[in-house]
Structure 1
Amino acid sequence: MSFSKIFGGKKKEQAPSTGEAIQRLRQTEEMLNKKQDFLEKKITEELKTARNKGTKDKRAALNALKRKKRLEKQLQQIDGTLSTIEFQREALENANTNSEVLKTMGYAAKALKNAHQHLDVDDVHDLMDDISESMDVSNEISEAISTQPAFDTVDEDELLAELEELEQEELDEKLLDVGPSVSDRLPDVPSEAPAHREKAKKVDDDDDMAELAAWAS
């Protein structure tokens, strides 16, 4: 057993949070900026004193310049310190941002896991299959409803034949409406025409017989 455990060693100091550290650094930066302003004013005063004393009081002028040199060195050191603090503060701010982002992502991951814990991949696939099947049935019903019934279909050739028949009937009716037929408008043939035709036929027969007798003699 170590002496620190027996007599009670110094407790390990708890690390500050990034927010606390950033706040402390900002306070330090503010203090150093004020110190810079003070040093710059002092440097201006010492430079003014050196000019005023000049060759009249060399010792006082030289001492003023020495103090100005020391002040400038302090100012330079503060500039370096401020640069280091600024770099450290920015690093902490970035770390704090990353920490907050990670916390938010972890919170979202837990919420997503909680949302999915009651879901099963197989159940989701089954649900999607049911939806797809329902959509297919719905499409079939829509097509069946939109299809023209069989009893409403008519043979087009049959309709054309009926149309032609109607047109012919209309044409016949127009012909009947014109007036007497052509035969009714022709002049009457004389009654003696048949006797004349019989006489002409007898003359032709006699000529044929005479020609036949001449050929035979």
Structure 2
Amino acid sequence: MTTTRVDRLVTAGTFSLDGGTWDVENNVWIVGDDTEAIVIDAAHDAAAIEAALAGRTLRAIVCTHAHNDHIDAAPALAAATGAPILLHPDDLPLWKQTHPDRAPDGELTHGHTLTVAGTDLTVLHTPGHAPGAVCLHAPALNTVFTGDTLFRGGPGATGRSFSHFPTIIDSIRDRLLTLPPETVVRTGHGDPTTIGDEAPHLAEWIDRGH
């Protein structure tokens, strides 16, 4: 019996919103065993993601939110693998900016559980960086995949359209900092952290945002 593991693939491309474009590197997280997996955030390079799957059955393409750098490769990866694309419906307006002619295949809702290789990942709706932003908590793996909601050093950006600083603070406080402190935070960009490392800084983030 193989055990569930987390693989990290870093892909490069651009992020565009509100008339600006920036070069970015994204974390693509692959969760599964030797036979099946899910992909969290199909960023930039469908061929590289498919290669990293190494023949495993892809059960779902999960979008933590619909900024273009997190979803630009999702339709191509879905076409190559047959896997459904899952997105929280509150992010459909953002999704349509990138993929106006291709809708997601299913909805992510708060409290919904996805299971891959016998491991449960619970959807946590964490709006703020985007209206439909979600995190995925996998207690058996001692990890939470936070997309762009929580990073090493603080919350995701809230200075652009569809984002709201007080909302992201509420999401982090109520739905992430309540997780066990040893929980590893696997982010949409950059290096991991832990809930315990970030929790003491909540007041600083609030002060910084005022």
Q: TM-score normalized by structure 1?
A: 0.16
As a proportion of its length, which structure holds more helix? 1
The structure with the largest alpha-carbon Rg is 1
Q: TM-score normalized by structure 2?
A: 0.17
